[in-house]
Amino acid sequence: MTEQAGIPTAELTTVLLVDDEENILSSLRRLLRHQPWRILTATSGAEALAILERETVDLIVSDARMPGMDGAALLSQVREVHPDCMRIMLTGYAEMATIMSAINNGQIYQYLTKPWNDEHLVLTLSKALDHQATERERSRLERLALEQNTQLRLLNESLDSRVKARTAELQQTSDMLDLSFEELRRSYVTSTEVFSLLINQRLPKGKQTNQDVISLVRAFCEDQAIDIQLSRDMTMAAALYNIGKLSWSDNLIVAPADLLYQKNRATYRSYPTQSESLLMTLEPLQDAARLIRFHQERWDGSGFPDNLKGEAIPFGSRLLKLAVDFVELQVGLYLERYLNRDEALLFIRNNSGKLYDPNLAESFISTCVNYLTDVKIGDPAVRAVSTRKLVEGMILARNLHAENGMLLLNEGKQLSSQLIEKLIAFEAVESGHYTVFVRDPLAG
């Protein structure tokens, strides 16, 4: 194997120079002799095509005017047969027709004029080869992304119950994103939703929250005509907000936040910053990672990790907290008690100005009323009252459950004075507090 400057010929970039004038070829060879390229030459289009049949050529520089086959015709054929070969035309004639033919049919990278500027010619060739290397790397990464997407799909189908295996598979998908994010720039929002499905593998089916949080955030952004870039960042934040919990034990990851705050305070308070740290190395996710960091801040400044207050909390983080809390209240990840949707919205309204941005909270409730078909809180005929404000004849607008989840009364049940007394007594025994959604008997 022949070598140039100690480098095997097979590893050198190959440049083919085509000109019918030997003195031009000699000048170009002298100019390029110090470049780390293998230089081939041809004195006609036919000879150039013959060389291309037996050699791998990265860049061809062809004169425009040659007997028989001109440069435009040659470069057009090169494009058809060897599309990966970069194409540059060298011309001493200001003939627009020839140049346009080369551009349209040969799709040349650039054209240079004779006499050339040595520095400009070398720089142009170097840029062309750099561009080619970038395109080849992009293609390689696209193939790699497709291969790893296939592997990811197969891994998803084979996930078992062991935490170690699921965590390893999530790490593999994270590595895949790191390798291929350039190719997935236009679809990385979808990619994060795929990863959210992997996060759900750590949770029992009834506590898998990410998809519901994503849906709510999207509904709000559409309802409020939120800027498209913020909507994308919000969707990615909703998909990955709890990725920092993946290192937790099974017992911790399914425990409600109020218990974690009492018994595992440091661990619980660390998950937003851990989530941010995992995502900050990926450029397309950096804005979403920032929203995740602050999504447990509270309007009154009592949240974490930085005790931000009011509008110092990013808008997207305030919205994410509303969506996360609304969903987690319903699956036992916020309080020990499971709330229904109306109770969760009532919780948000009651904590508006303390935990939540008051204006944003009302907009969020309005979106939920429009988006969720079974929400009663938006019905003007429905009221949420305590047991001691119940009146005989009122009709239940929602099933009523005890603190332990047991069904006490069905929706549609008309309350009698005896039922009201029993509810008050049962509430006292449980040391609980029931919120009852009712219709007045005369309401439509």
User: Could you tell me if residue 222 is inside a domain?
Assistant: yes
Whether this prediction's pTM lies above 0.85 is answered by: no
Name the amino acid, one letter, at 52. L
Least reliable range by pLDDT among 56-60, 197-201, 358-362, 424-428: 197-201
> Domain tally for the chain?
4
Q: What is the token pair recorded at 258?
A: 């109020």
Co-location of 259 and 269 in the same domain = yes
Q: Using 50, 70 and 90 to split pLDDT, how confident is the model at 404? A: low
User: Could you tell me if residue 128 is inside a domain?
Assistant: no
pLDDT, averaged across the chain: 84
The pLDDT value recorded for residue 165 is: 60
User: Could you tell me if residue 131 is inside a domain?
Assistant: no
The pLDDT value recorded for residue 321 is: 97
Most confident of 10-14, 141-145, 434-438: 141-145
Between CA 429 and CA 22 the distance in angstroms is 105
Least reliable range by pLDDT among 123-127, 302-306, 317-321, 335-339: 335-339
Between CA 148 and CA 434 the distance in angstroms is 51
Average pLDDT of span 161-170: 60
Q: Using 50, 70 and 90 to split pLDDT, how confident is the model at 290? A: very high
Average pLDDT of span 389-418: 79
Co-location of 266 and 250 in the same domain = yes
Average pLDDT of span 216-235: 92
Co-location of 182 and 208 in the same domain = no
User: Could you tell me if residue 121 is inside a domain?
Assistant: no
Among residues 314, 324, 310, 316, the alpha carbon closest in space to that of 356 is found at: 310
Which residue in this structure is represented by tokens 């851990």?
274
The pLDDT value recorded for residue 149 is: 84
Most confident of 7-11, 255-259, 281-285, 374-378: 255-259
Between CA 281 and CA 289 the distance in angstroms is 10
Co-location of 360 and 384 in the same domain = no
Average pLDDT of span 206-227: 91
Contact 430, 419 (CB under 8 A): no
Co-location of 106 and 83 in the same domain = yes
User: Could you tell me if residue 14 is inside a domain?
Assistant: yes
User: Could you tell me if residue 256 is inside a domain?
Assistant: yes
Q: How far is CA 37 from CA 5, 40, 121, 134, in A?
A: 10, 10, 14, 17
The torsion angles phi and psi of 121, rounded to 5 degrees, stand at -65, -45
- Conformational region of residue 440, where left means phi above 0, alpha means psi within -120 to 50, and beta covers everything else: beta
Co-location of 65 and 94 in the same domain = yes
The pLDDT value recorded for residue 182 is: 44
Co-location of 345 and 294 in the same domain = yes
Between CA 255 and CA 261 the distance in angstroms is 10
Q: Residue 353 sits in a domain of what CATH number?
A: 1.10.3210.10
The pLDDT value recorded for residue 344 is: 93
Q: Where are the alpha helices (DSSP H) in 201-305?
A: 210-223, 228-240, 250-253, 257-263, 265-280, 286-293
Domain end call among 161, 180, 199? 199
Co-location of 162 and 41 in the same domain = no
Q: How far is CA 395 from CA 180, 374, 406, in A?
A: 57, 17, 19
Domain end call among 378, 410, 426? 378
The torsion angles phi and psi of 436, rounded to 5 degrees, stand at -110, 125
Average pLDDT of span 36-49: 94
Between CA 183 and CA 107 the distance in angstroms is 24
Q: Residue 412 sits in a domain of what CATH number?
A: 3.90.100.10
Burial annotation 177-198 (CB, 10 A radius, 16+ → b, else e): beebbebbeeebbebbbebbeb
Q: What is the separation of C-alpha 444 from the centre of its chain, rounded to a whole number of angstroms?
A: 46
Q: Is the pLDDT of residue 329 over 90?
A: yes
Co-location of 349 and 221 in the same domain = yes
The pLDDT value recorded for residue 440 is: 74
Bigger pLDDT: 430 vs 204 = 204
Domain end call among 378, 396, 422? 378
Co-location of 245 and 323 in the same domain = yes
Q: What is the pLDDT of residues 55-114, one digit of tens each?
A: 999 999 999 888 989 888 899 999 999 998 999 988 876 555 556 665 655 578 888 888
User: Could you tell me if residue 356 is inside a domain?
Assistant: yes
Structural domain boundaries enclosing 66: 3-116
The torsion angles phi and psi of 42, rounded to 5 degrees, stand at -145, 145
Co-location of 349 and 275 in the same domain = yes
User: Could you tell me if residue 130 is inside a domain?
Assistant: no
Co-location of 248 and 168 in the same domain = no
Q: Residue 97 sits in a domain of what CATH number?
A: 3.40.50.2300
> What is the C-alpha end-to-end distance of the chain, expressed in Å?
92
